């Protein structure tokens, strides 16, 4: 174990180097702050609870930096986040890369003119919406969420942004559940995930 803190080569929102160490393996560290909840929300499901990560300044800062870093210097105009945990990570990533932020919401939540898309869920379908002026044609967009699972929500977000003329620079998620093969639905975009689980 390290005897003294070492500098983590990341830049926080304050634009000064942050010390997040001692830390040999930042990925293992972040995983240690995620709580496994078996049989939630139904039997046989292992739920990855990120609330301990969000409650730790060190792990929250590190997770945002690792999500944001691939998109620094890539002229991103807006980060888009889906209801609801995409709001948490998307807003923070937008601030970290000095871009704006826009929201994707479930039906009935947006007061202005909207575009919408319907996508398939395991049992039934879902609909997501954006304001018609949320994205201007040609704007460069990163889409953020907490988890990439089956890929349905992220695919819908991509389709909404493209309806409005946005250009997808990439997708950033904190967690990817690789066994659910959500990445297969996103083969036309650059997908960056920080933590991978089977």
Q: With contact defined as beta carbons under 8 Å apart, do 75 and 140 qualify?
A: yes
Q: Which of 9, 72, 74, 122 is catalytic?
A: 122
Rounded Cα distance between 30 and 33, Å, is 5
Does the annotation mark 72 as catalytic?
no
Active site annotation includes 65: no
State the catalytic residue, choosing from 58, 85, 140, 162: 85
Q: Is the peptide bond before 22 cis (omega within 30 degrees of 0)?
A: yes
Which tokens hold the place of 154?
């992220």
Q: Which two tokens stand for residue 136?
A: 């201007």
Residues whose CB is less than 8 angstroms from the CB of residue 61 and which lie 6 or more positions away in sequence, other chains included: 12, 18, 20
Catalytic machinery residues: 85, 122
């Amino acid at each position: 174990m390290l005897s003294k803190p070492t500098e983590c080569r990341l830049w926080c929102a304050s634009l000064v180097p942050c010390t997040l160490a001692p830390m040999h393996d930042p990925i293992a560290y972040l995983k240690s702050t995620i709580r496994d909840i078996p049989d939630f929300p139904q039997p046989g499901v292992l739920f990855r609870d990120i609330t301990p990560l969000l409650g730790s300044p060190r792990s929250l800062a590190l997770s945002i930096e690792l999500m944001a870093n691939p998109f620094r210097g890539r002229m991103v105009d807006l980060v888009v986040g889906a209801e609801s945990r995409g709001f948490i990570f998307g807003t923070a990533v937008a601030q970290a890369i000095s871009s704006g932020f826009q929201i994707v919401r479930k039906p009935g939540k947006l007061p202005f003119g909207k575009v919408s898309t319907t996508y398939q869920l395991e049992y039934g379908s879902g609909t997501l919406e954006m304001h018609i002026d949320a994205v201007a044609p040609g704007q460069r967009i990163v889409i953020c969420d907490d988890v990439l699972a089956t890929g349905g929500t992220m695919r819908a977000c991509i389709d909404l942004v493209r309806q409005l003329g946005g250009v997808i620079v990439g997708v950033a998620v904190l967690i990817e559940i690789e066994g659910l093969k959500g990445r297969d639905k996103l083969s036309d975009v650059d997908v960056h995930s920080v933590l991978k689980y089977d």
